[in-house]
Structure 1
Amino acid sequence: MKLFISIDMEGISGIIDVTYCDPDQGINYDRGRQFMTADANAAIEGALEAGVTDILVADSHDNMRNVLIENLHPQAKLLSGTSRDYSMMHGLDSSYDAAIFLGYHSRHGAPGVLSHTMSGVIKNLYVNGQVVGEFGFNAIYAGLLGVPVVMVSGDDQIAEEAKSLIPGISTAIVKTAASRTAAICLPLSAAQAEIKSKTIEALARIKEIQPLTTETPLELKIEFSHAGQAEMAALIPGSEYKLGTTEVSVVCQDQHEMYKVMRAMLNLAGVAKFW
C-alpha cells in the first residue's frame, strides 16, 4: 500500500500563531519544526502498523523545507524544497492508494487557527463555483487522480470543513480553536497518539472513502484582496477579469493545469502592493 502525506504547519499540534511557523522571524519556529516532524512521525507509525509499505511525506508549508529530516521516521521519504509545479500535492500520482493531510487549517474568512487560503492575496477560491480552502483544492487534485483523502489533522474547524466535502473522512483534532490565534491544545503526546490512532482507523476504512469527484473542465475563480492583485492575475492568457470586482476566472482542462494557473496567479498578484 502506498500513502501520500501532505503536511502543512498551521494545523500542527501545539501551534497557535505565526511565531511557530514563520521561517524568517518566528521566535518559536524551531519548536514548530519539531512539533511538525513529530506529527509526521505519528502518522507514519500508524501507517506502518496499518500495512503501508511506501510513504512519501510532502513538506507543504511556506518554503517547504520545515520538516527535520534528521528526526523523520526512517521508513518514509521526504519531498522537501520549492519550487514545485503542484506545490502541496507534488509527487502524488494515481499509483497511491490514499492521501492524508496533516497540519491543515480552515479556509480564509472561516473560523479556525490561522485560517487562510494559500496566500494573503486570496479572499476566496472557487472550483466550479464551490468555495474551497487548501483542503478542498488539494482534495480535488487528489480526487481527479483517483486518490481518496482519508484523514486530516488540525483543529476542530478544519475537521468540520473536511467532513462537509468528504463524508466519512477520519479527523484527528489536536486543538480546539478559541480564536484565529488561540486554541485549547491537547498535550503533544496525546495529540500525536490521536494522529496515530486516526491514521490506523482511516487506512482500515480506505475502501469506504471515495475520491472527491469534480467535473472537468474546471473553472478556477479567485477573488483577490484588492483590484490591483486581480489586474496582475488577469495577465494569465485565457483568464477573465470581472470588472467592478476583484474576481479573475479561467477554465482549466485538468487538475494539473489548474494547480499551475493558481500558482501563477498568486505569484503575479503578490507583486501588486496595497499602497
Structure 2
Amino acid sequence: MANARLYFIHALAPLHPGTGQGTGVIDLPIAREKATGIPYLPGSSVKGSLRDSGLVSDTKRFFGPDVTAADEHAGAAQFADARLLLLPMRSLRGTFAWVTSPYLLRRASRDAAGLQADLPADIPTPGNHQQALLSGTALRYQNKQVILEDLDLVGSASREAQAWATWIGKHAFAEEPERQLLNERLCVVHDDVLSFLLTTATEVFARIRLQPDQKTVAEGALWYEEALPAETLLVGLILAQKIGSYTPSDVFTELKKLNGRSFQFGGKATVGRGICRLQVAGGGQ
C-alpha cells in the first residue's frame, strides 16, 4: 500500500478508550468491535491527541481545518483505528506474558501487506485450546506448563512465534531492552482462548466520589470503569494524501517529530489513564 505507515501504541498506563455508559455490570466499558469483541482505540482519538500536542508545524493541512471550516479540505494524514495486537497477562512464571492469537497476527499481516515491512512468512497456530506457542522460555513453568491468569496451558517453542516477536519488537519498540523482553514473553494462544481472555483479563476499577465535608461516599457515587492494562500494544495505519502542495512526504516528515514520544489517549486523563508511547514504522513510499 503506497503512502502509508504502520503505527504502534504501547500503553504505559491503563488505557480507557471509552464508549460512554454501559448496560452491563461495568458502568464505563472500553470500545470493542461489534463482531469480534476485540478492543480498539478509535482513530479519531489518536488524531485528536496528536493534534492537541502542538508538535506538528502545519496543523491545518496535516490534520485538516477546524470544525468551523471543515468543508475546505480533508487532512493530509488519515488515522485508522488502533487495534489490539498484544494483551499483557499475568503469568506464574516471568511476571507477565504478551498474549496474541493467529487472528490478531493475521490482521496485522493484512494491514502491513504492501508496506515493504519484511513480514514473517508464517502465522503461528496452536493445534488445540491447551497449546501455547512461545517465542522464549521465560513463561515456562514445570513440565512445559504455561499458567496465564487461571488457565493452565502447555507451552511449545515456536520458530514462527520467535519470528513475530522479533518483527514486532523491531517496529514497535525503539529500545533494545523492550525488544528483548518481548522476545522472551510472546505467547500465541488459540483464537477461542483469546476470546475468553478478552472478557476476563482487562482491568476493572471501582471508583467512588466522596462528600467534601464528611469524606464518606456520596449516595449513588460508586461506579466501575474498564481499561486495557499497562503494556498493551495496539497497531493501526496512517495513510497520507496530497493536499495542495502538501505531499505524503511532508506528512511522513512531520510524523518523525511524533515518533517515540508519549501522549495521552482515551478518557480519564486526570486520574492517570492513557499515557502511551507512539512508534511509527517505515514502509510505503
TM-score bucket of the superposed structures, by smaller chain: under 0.3
Instruction: Identify which of structures 1 and 2 has the higher relative contact order when contacts are C-alpha pairs closer than 8 Å and 6+ apart.
Output: 2
**Which entry has the higher C-alpha Rg, 1 or 2?**
2
* TM-score, normalised via structure 1 length: 0.27
* TM-score, normalised via structure 2 length: 0.27
